[in-house]
Amino acid sequence: MTRPYEHFENWIKKDSKAKEDFIQKNKDAWSKLAPKQFTVSISQPQILFGYDQEQAILSTKEFVAASKDFYETIRKKFREHKHQTSKQHKSRIQARISKSSTSKLEQIKKKL
């Protein structure tokens, strides 16, 4: 069973601060990279000719229009960004155990 399609506007509403910051940080690069697939405007939403598009309004009252393909790219890049930031979070603890310690623990388990 596939997940239902989530529109751009609804996607931004969930965890909106992080997603809006991510879009604000990358909007200039994306506009240069794919000017026909991604636009941000202050006055009114832009029409992307030749593409099915998704639109959203940010809290800064900016209109964001992205083609459906580019919207999926934004979602993917945001997931990667969120994963990277959670990996670097200060409260995250990661321990490594040497092979010798692991083998000693296995021997202790066998004795019990």
Q: What is the number of other CB atoms lying within 10 angstroms of the CB of residue 68?
A: 16
33-39 mean pLDDT: 85
The sheet carrying 53-57 orders its strands as 38-41, 63-67, 53-57
d(CA 41, CA 68): 18
Please say whether the dihedral angle defined by the alpha carbons of residues 4, 40, 63 and 85, taken in this order, is positive or negative. positive
> In 10 A of CB 67, how many CB atoms?
19
Q: What is the pLDDT of residues 47-96, one digit of tens each?
A: 766 677 888 888 888 888 888 888 899 999 999 998 888 777 766 666 78
Taking all residues of the chain, what is their mean pLDDT, rounded to a whole number? Answer: 84
